[in-house]
Structure 1
Amino acid sequence: MSLMLPSESPTARSVVGVADDLIAALRGESAQLPRAESVVLLLVDGLGAISLRAHAGHARALTSVLTKKDVAYSVFPSTTASALTSILTGVQPGEHGLVGYRVLDRERDVLVNQLSGWESDGIDPERWQPLPTVFERERAQGRPVFAVGVAAYAHSGFSRATLRGAEFIAARTPADRVAAAYDLAERHPGAFVYCYVPEVDKAGHKHGIASPQWVAALEDVDAALAQRVPPGVGVLVTADHGMVDVPAHRQIVLEARDLRGVRHLGGEPRMIHAYVEQGVVADAVAERWRRDLDGVADVATRDEAVASGLFGSVVTDAAASRIGDLLLVPRGIGAVYDGTAADQRSRGMIGQHGGLTPEERQVPMVRLGAFSR
């Protein structure tokens, strides 16, 4: 296998256990956090720890309390569909089954979008992601559980897969959402409140993390987090993944000759799931790609990736069926595109994620309120 595996310590903290830590803190049983009367999990989509530190002057509320130890690692792939589902179910992608951005539904032989395509691609959220969410588990125990987010996401298929059991509260701006989350936590002792803030991720994708627009989005989030935390409320600020900027000259374009034997390209530009034609030996395509893409991208077969633990120690049959026959992960800040596809709009996206770099996988873990050191 040529795939360069992540090198973090086996004891490094993972985003997968964050919700369980917060619930334990409500009971006074967390090894990581002090006891709190209510808790807020504030998720800033796309905010990597490395990019946050690089822009510390624009995020003083966050970075003034950020220590070197306040870091966790996202899952693989480092993408929203996989990581948010892991955070809100407490298991790795190999178990909950959302193993990438776009994956193959082998029963229908079609690619489905696991973030925004639930309705258009005909995916049943409860069948595709059947595991209980943290909201379902805690609500069954009588705990108040809430999800604060953007109104447009209230009834989406992805929300049904990840927020089942929560009472959804919509609010327009980051400041409005943070205020609503704090109010819910204060008014409902023992509550678990999830607050989702997507503006940083959206600015990064469109303009890049080096852009004034990304900095402005970060400043808005930081100002929102400067609000007073109610007494007894513990707040943990984290992210699902970070991001890298991909310049045009680092785009890797696969032409027809490169795609011989390949039926579908799924995933996303920083982590491709490739599905081969019936009767084609995946190992043969893998060897060709390793030779032709030597030095610019890593290649692994499904069996190699599963055996290495990239998707977690448990990989269900359903999850395995969605993993590509081959995985193609660009090195550095490259991104892979299908040069034969009619729709090339994604090549204009600057900020990208999904791969294995520290910039994509390291996320902040900032404590506020009752969790402050």
Structure 2
Amino acid sequence: MPPMLPAAFTTRASLATVLPSSLAAVTGASNDLALPRMEHLVLIVVDGLGAAALRARSGHARTLAPLLGKATTIDAGFPTTTAAALATLTTGTTPGEHGLVGYRVRDGSGRLTNQLSGWDADMDPATWQRSRTVFECAADEGVRARAIGLPKFEGTGFTAAVLRGAEFIGVQSLSQRFDTAAEIVAGSGPGLTYLYVAELDQLAHARGWESPDWTAALETVDALVASFTRRLGPGRGALLTADHGVVDVPQSGHILYDTAPELLDGVAGIAGEPRLLHIYLEPGASATAVAERWRDSEGDRSWVATRTEATDAGWFGPSVDAEVAPRIGDVLVAARKRIAYYDGRDPQRIGRNMVGQHGSITPEETRVPLLRFGTAG
């Protein structure tokens, strides 16, 4: 009997609808978000700002929190990791179609590759990410698209994969990123601008979203959004969303899977990230048998599914292309409690110092805000 798995997300109220609707609003077309016609729309993407965390810190977000309600949250999709979620956002397609199905995944040559920073000649951004971006579509419509982010992201494989079609503008300071967006939106002509805020996610990983540092950064972002949106003129609008939420995981929640040797029987490699393991099997190993062993051990604190079970449940979208399927683990382990999985044999202890984490399919990780300002409101 197949395991009970969380329901799939719906594309109609997810990140996949946001940029296509934004472009449609600029071109005057109908759209899923019912956005009105406007000349320029700015999409503010605050990495890691989950709806649950924003709600919990509502007293520190006087601009954002009052707008947060049932009708102003959407589904980030799965997995709740930046590589997959931003690709969903900028293409309007789901991971089973665009192909970025995790943080670290198995590539065509069998390597376990980091999809944020591991791009090389064997992973061409133009083909590994398989969908046209909304920015490329904007060019077809005569709409100028720009993406404002940290300078270190310019020219990277990930940027080429998910932001292609947009003019990249690197700005180090967070406040200057908002100022740059304000200057752009004040210009004439139809435009679509993507403004990326990395700071909250970085602090969540380092210190946790429940830390005073994260709360202080949220106050800063809230004030910058307030100042920016007050400057929006006629025909200008802004949306604010996030790629995923965050769960703080204490050291006591670190699970060392290598201490249970039976879990590694038939396993060739483990990728993904600590709250979502992609388990790749040796030739001839049974995914069902491996999944059952993991389920027996971890079923009280994680969802365990074979690739077939996960794709049938719609975890990666309505369908998974045949070219994309091998990138997904033969077995998936998605944390549902405040835990994270590590290999205790790793001498570098990679990731063991992270507090805030994400990747799984809990509401804290999947539900994100979608807030409207200016004409978009």
The TM-score normalised by the length of structure 2 is 0.94
Amino acid at match of 1:239: A
Deviations 1:145-164 (A, max 9, x none): 10011111011110000111
Deviations 1:153-194 (A, max 9, x none): 011110000111111112222221122112212214210111
Kindly indicate whether the alpha-carbon contact (under 8 Å) linking 1:174 and 1:220 is maintained by their aligned counterparts in 2.
no
Deviations 1:226-277 (A, max 9, x none): 1123212110000000000001111211116121211110100111100011
Kindly indicate whether the alpha-carbon contact (under 8 Å) linking 1:237 and 1:367 is maintained by their aligned counterparts in 2.
yes
**1:111 is matched with which residue?**
112
**2:21 is matched with which residue?**
21
Q: 1:366 aligns with which of 359, 368, 371?
A: 371
Q: 1:1-40 maps to which residues of 2 (within 5 A)? A: 1-2=2-3, 4-6=5-7, 13-28=13-28, 29-30=30-31, 31-40=33-42
Q: Does 1:275 align with 2:280?
A: yes
Cα distance, 1:361 vs structure 2: 0.5
Cα distance, 1:89 vs structure 2: 0.5
Counterpart Cα distance in 1 of 2:60 and 2:189:
33
**1:50 is matched with which residue?**
52
Deviations 1:287-330 (A, max 9, x none): 11111223122210011111111101121122101000000112
Counterpart Cα distance in 2 of 1:52 and 1:32:
24
**1:163 is matched with which residue?**
163
Counterpart Cα distance in 2 of 1:102 and 1:166:
25
Q: 1:224-303 maps to which residues of 2 (within 5 A)? A: 224-227=224-227, 228-231=230-233, 232-255=235-258, 257=261, 258-303=263-308
The TM-score normalised by the length of structure 1 is 0.95
Deviations 1:36-69 (A, max 9, x none): 2210111000000110011111111212333331
Q: Percent identity?
A: 45
Kindly indicate whether the alpha-carbon contact (under 8 Å) linking 2:81 and 2:358 is maintained by their aligned counterparts in 1.
yes
**1:184 is matched with which residue?**
184
Counterpart Cα distance in 2 of 1:330 and 1:145:
37
Counterpart Cα distance in 2 of 1:159 and 1:193:
15
Q: 1:305 aligns with which of 310, 316, 333?
A: 310
Counterpart Cα distance in 2 of 1:110 and 1:65:
44
- CA shift in 2, pair 1:122/1:229, >3 Å: farther
Counterpart Cα distance in 1 of 2:293 and 2:73:
38
**1:125 is matched with which residue?**
125
Cα distance, 1:108 vs structure 2: 1.9
Q: Does 1:60 align with 2:65?
A: no
**2:337 is matched with which residue?**
332
The alignment yields a C-alpha RMSD, in angstroms, of 1.7
Kindly indicate whether the alpha-carbon contact (under 8 Å) linking 1:38 and 1:185 is maintained by their aligned counterparts in 2.
yes
Cα distance, 1:340 vs structure 2: 2.6
Counterpart Cα distance in 2 of 1:223 and 1:194:
19
- CA shift in 2, pair 1:242/1:260, >3 Å: same
Counterpart Cα distance in 2 of 1:357 and 1:296:
12
Counterpart Cα distance in 2 of 1:249 and 1:207:
15
Amino acid at match of 2:43: L
Q: Give SS of 1:187's match.
A: coil
Kindly indicate whether the alpha-carbon contact (under 8 Å) linking 1:49 and 1:242 is maintained by their aligned counterparts in 2.
yes
> Which runs of no fewer than 5 residues in structure 2 stay unpaired?
none
Q: 2:97 aligns with which of 90, 95, 101?
A: 95
Cα distance, 1:93 vs structure 2: 0.3
Amino acid at match of 1:35: R
Amino acid at match of 2:280: Y
Counterpart Cα distance in 2 of 1:250 and 1:5:
22
Cα distance, 1:18 vs structure 2: 0.3
